[in-house]
Amino acid sequence: MVKLLMLILSVLLLVSLSFTQTMNIHTLSGTDVYDLADIDSITFAVTGDTGLVTDIDGNIYHTVRIGTQVWLMENLTVTRYRNGDSIPNVTDGPTWGGLLTGAYCNYSNDPNNASIYGRLYNWFAVDDPRGIAPEGWHVPSEAEWDILVNYLGGASVAGGAMKEAGTSHWNSPNSGATNSSGFTALPGGYRGIGNNFGGMGNEATFWSSTEHSTDNAWNRSLYYGNAQVDRSTNGKQHGFSVRCVRD
C-alpha cells in the first residue's frame, strides 16, 4: 500500500511540475502549500500497523509500528517463560534483593496493579534463555532503544511522544506528553533492591536486554516532569517494566 501511494504521488508530482511551482499536501488537519523550489526530498513516516499478540498466559497485547520497528503497546504481565516454566513471584523484600535468577512481582505486591501497569521483572528474567517475550518478540537491546528514541527526535523530546497523554495515570504536569508515537508508556514505577517500591505515577522504567557489567544492566526511563528519555544502568535485582519489540 505504501509503495502504491509513493508511486501515485511521484506521478502526480511529475504532472504538477508542468503546470505549477507549488505542491499542496492534504492532511487531516488541513492543507499545507509548499514551494517546489524549497523541496529537495520527501520522507514518508510510517506509523500504525496495529495488531494483537498473545503471550503464553493468554494475555493480549496491542501492537504499533513506529518507524521501522513494531512494539507492544502494553507492559508485559506474563508469569511464565515461553516454554511454560513459571517465573517465580517473589514478594519478600530480602529474598528479592538477593536473587540471581529470574523473578517478577506486582507493584506494592498488589495484583490489581498488574492489569493496568503490567508486572515488574528483574533483569535475570529478561536475560533467561527460556524467553520472557511472546513468540516472535524479544526484549529490546540498547541499539533497538536507540533506534526508537532517535526516530522520535532524540532523547530530549522522545519521552513526550512515548508517554500516554493526560493525567489519568501520570501525575501532573506530565510535561510534553502527546503519545504521538502510539507507544503509550504508563508510569508503572519500580522495585528497588529490597522491599521498597516507588515511582508509580511519576516514572516508567524499562529494561534493556543489554548487560552493562556483572552487576548492572541498561534501562530507559520516562518521567512526569519532562519529555526526556533517560538512559542509565541499575542493579540486575531491580524490578522494572518490560516492553517488547518484534523480531
pLDDT along the chain (247 residues), means of 10: 42 37 43 57 47 96 97 98 98 95 98 97 98 98 98 98 98 98 98 92 98 98 98 98 98
- Tracing cell 499536501 back to the chain, one arrives at 25
Of 53, 57, 169, which is closest to residue 104 (Cα–Cα)? Answer: 57
Q: What is the dihedral of CA 197, 203, 204, 207, to 10 degrees?
A: -60
What's the pLDDT score for residue 21? 55
What's the pLDDT score for residue 114? 97
What's the pLDDT score for residue 34? 57
DSSP of 157-193: THHHHHBPSSSSSSPTT-TT---TTS--B--EEEE-S
What's the pLDDT score for residue 26? 38
What's the pLDDT score for residue 8? 39
Of 99, 100, 112, 245, which is closest to residue 188 (Cα–Cα)? Answer: 112
Q: Is residue 196 within a helix (H) or strand (E), and if so which, with residue range?
A: none
Q: Are 206 and 220 in contact (CB under 8 A)?
A: yes
What's the pLDDT score for residue 17? 35
Neighbours of 247 (CB within 10 A): 9
DSSP for residue 141: -
Report residue 135: phi and psi, to 5°. Answer: -55, 130
Task: Copy the grid coordinates of residue 168.
Answer: 489519568
